[in-house]
Each structure stands twice: as structure tokens, then as C-alpha cells.
């Protein structure tokens, strides 16, 4: 059987800067992969390869057996920590815009019946992300959590199969983050999405993922730090019933990322 996403010796260089090297693995449809690793190790670059805004330098990155097209498409949606909206459009119009651009790439807007249908779809998505009360507000009037709900609705209205999340909750308060975690898990299950989510928060990675990847370098050249790139050094399946189980691998990762005490405390608290 063909894997949904297949990485075969994928490398990405920017000139002489080797960012990623030799990534190989398969991902099935419906997995929730969380990505952790030091700043600058290539996590966002990896998402850009999946999105198709960057191409691989060597190796193969396949989706359903085909090379990932070098342009964003409806099947891949992305949410960044900071996102882009049209400030002069309200929440509902910003969400509907994804469909409007699809329907009419020259004018960018729809009219009459098709516009009403686009707005209706926007309303449905706003409801599923819990933002229906804010549909006529403008982006600058929203809180950080509401802005990320809007970003999720914008990404999902085009019904992607793959959702790419680049530290989407990094700027939110802990309480709001928790609500967003529940929302993202609900959307993942309901729409059978395949999710790749970058996070700096290892606890978030363990809590949300069905699989956790650590990106790191296995080779270092002290005289030329850009000579070698990161690869997937750990690929951990997470058990839903006990994602923080202190297996030897989890211990090693948490020690490596120097936050073992937090995770160990959390584990004790969840016992």
C-alpha cells in the first residue's frame, strides 16, 4: 500500500546552508505529527516543503504517491503563529474569501447566490471553531485566541486533507491554549485531518500528537556549522492513554531538550 506522505532521503539546502538532510519515513492518513527541535533546526522549512512553497533539494517527498506540487493547493491548509487577514473585511468575509478567490480568481469576489453560499459556508466554519458570535467583527477587534480560531476557519474552509500548524498557539495564555488544544483535537477527529504541528512546548507535543518527531543534527562540524542539517532523530508513537509514559526514549528526549522536570511533574500530576 502507498503511504499517504512518503519521505525518501529528503534534503533541503539554502545555498551552502544544509538545513535538512536525509529525512526518510512514511505518514499515514489521519496521523497527528508534532514536531519539536531547537530554534533554527528546520521545522518551518519542513512545513514549507509540505505546503509546496519550497522544493526539496534532493530526495523525494510524495503525497499519495505523487511529488508534492510546487504551489499551495486546497488540500494543504496552514496556520502560523501570526497570520494574514484583510483588515477591512470582517471575520465572516475573511473566511469566505478562500472560496471567493477559488470561484473567481480575476475579480476575487463573488456576487448573488454564489456569494451567499460562500458566506453560509463561512458561517458553518465559524460555528465549528466557536467564533459564530464574532462573525461581523473586524480582525483588529479580536483577542489572540479568537484570531487563531479565525485562522483555523480560514485554513479549513477549503477542506484540506493536511493541516500544517506552525507554533499556532505560541503567543497565547495557558488557559486559552488549553481551549485551543481541545478545539484542534476535535477538528482533527471530526474532519479526519492529517496534521503536522510545530511546537516549542514539548508538553503540547505529547498531549496533541499521535506521533512525535524530534529534529536534530546527528553530525556537527565545529568549523562549519551549516555543513550538516537536521534529520528526524526520534520518531515516537504516542499512546493516547498515556502519552507521557516515561519510556527510555521519552526520558532521553526530555533530557536532551532540558525540560525533563516539567514533563516528569506533569506525568506525576496526571497519574
Which residues are near ligand ATP by CB under 6 A? 14, 17, 19, 37, 39-45
User: Is residue 233 part of the contact set for Mg ion (CB under 5 A)?
Assistant: no
End-to-end Cα separation, the chain, in angstroms: 39
Name the binder of 41 from ligand ATP, Mg ion, none, CB < 5-8 A by kind: ligand ATP
134: left (phi over 0), alpha (psi -120 to 50) or beta: alpha
CB of 133 to Mg ion, least distance (A): 32
Note the helical H segments in 191-234.
202-208
Note the helical H segments in 129-170.
144-156
* Residue 42 or 145 with smaller CB distance to ligand ATP: 42
Region 17-56 residues binding Mg ion, contact defined as CB under 5 A: 44
CB of 80 to Mg ion, least distance (A): 9
* Residue 5 or 35 with smaller CB distance to ligand ATP: 35
Cα–Cα distance measured from residue 142 to residue 160, given in angstroms and rounded to the nearest whole number: 25
Nearest to 182 by CA among 133, 130, 238: 130
* Residue 14 or 111 with smaller CB distance to ligand ATP: 14
CB of 226 to ligand ATP, least distance (A): 7
* Residue 151 or 157 with smaller CB distance to ligand ATP: 151
Cα–Cα distance measured from residue 131 to residue 45, given in angstroms and rounded to the nearest whole number: 30
CB atoms closer than 10 angstroms to residue 93: 20
Which residue do the cell numbers 496556520 mark? 79
* Residue 2 or 17 with smaller CB distance to ligand ATP: 17
Cα–Cα distance measured from residue 187 to residue 29, given in angstroms and rounded to the nearest whole number: 15
CB of 262 to Mg ion, least distance (A): 21
Name the binder of 45 from Mg ion, ligand ATP, none, CB < 5-8 A by kind: ligand ATP
- Looking at residue 269, the DSSP 8-state letter turns out to be H
The footprint of Mg ion (CB under 5 A) covers 44
Amino acid at each position: 500500500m502507498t503511504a499517504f506522505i512518503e519521505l525518501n532521503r529528503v534534503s533541503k539546502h539554502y545555498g551552502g546552508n544544509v538545513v535538512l538532510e536525509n529525512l526518510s519515513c512514511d505518514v499515514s492518513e489521519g496521523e497527528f505529527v508534532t514536531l519539536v527541535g531547537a530554534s533554527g533546526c528546520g521545522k518551518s522549512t519542513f512545513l514549507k516543503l509540505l505546503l509546496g512553497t519550497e522544493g526539496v533539494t534532493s530526495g523525494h517527498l510524495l503525497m499519495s504517491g505523487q511529488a508534492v506540487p510546487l504551489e499551495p493547493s486546497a488540500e494543504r491548509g496552514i496556520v502560523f503563529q501570526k497570520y494574514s487577514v484583510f483588515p477591512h473585511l470582517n471575520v465572516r468575509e475573511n473566511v469566505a474569501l478562500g472560496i471567493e478567490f477559488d470561484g473567481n480568481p480575476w475579480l476575487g469576489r463573488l456576487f448573488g447566490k454564489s456569494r451567499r453560499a460562500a458566506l453560509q459556508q463561512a458561517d458553518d466554519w465559524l460555528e465549528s471553531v466557536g467564533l459564530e458570535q464574532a462573525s461581523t467583527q473586524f480582525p483588529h477587534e479580536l483577542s489572540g485566541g479568537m484570531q487563531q480560531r479565525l485562522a483555523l476557519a480560514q485554513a479549513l474552509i477549503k477542506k484540506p486533507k493536511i493541516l500544517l500548524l506552525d507554533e499556532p498557539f505560541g503567543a497565547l495564555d495557558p488557559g486559552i491554549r488549553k481551549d485551543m488544544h481541545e478545539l484542534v483535537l476535535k477538528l482533527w477527529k471530526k474532519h479526519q485531518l492529517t496534521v503536522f504541528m510545530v511546537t516549542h512546548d514539548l508538553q503540547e507535543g505529547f498531549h496533541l500528537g499521535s506521533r512525535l518527531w524530534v529534529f536534530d543534527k546527528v553530525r556537527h562540524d565545529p568549523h562549519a556549522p551549516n555543513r550538516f542539517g537536521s534529520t528526524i532523530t526520534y520518531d515516537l508513537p504516542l499512546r493516547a492513554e498515556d502519552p507521557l509514559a516515561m519510556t527510555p526514549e521519552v526520558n532521553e528526549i526530555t533530557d536532551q531538550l532540558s525540560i525533563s522536570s516539567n514533563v516528569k511533574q506533569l506525568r506525576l500530576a496526571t497519574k
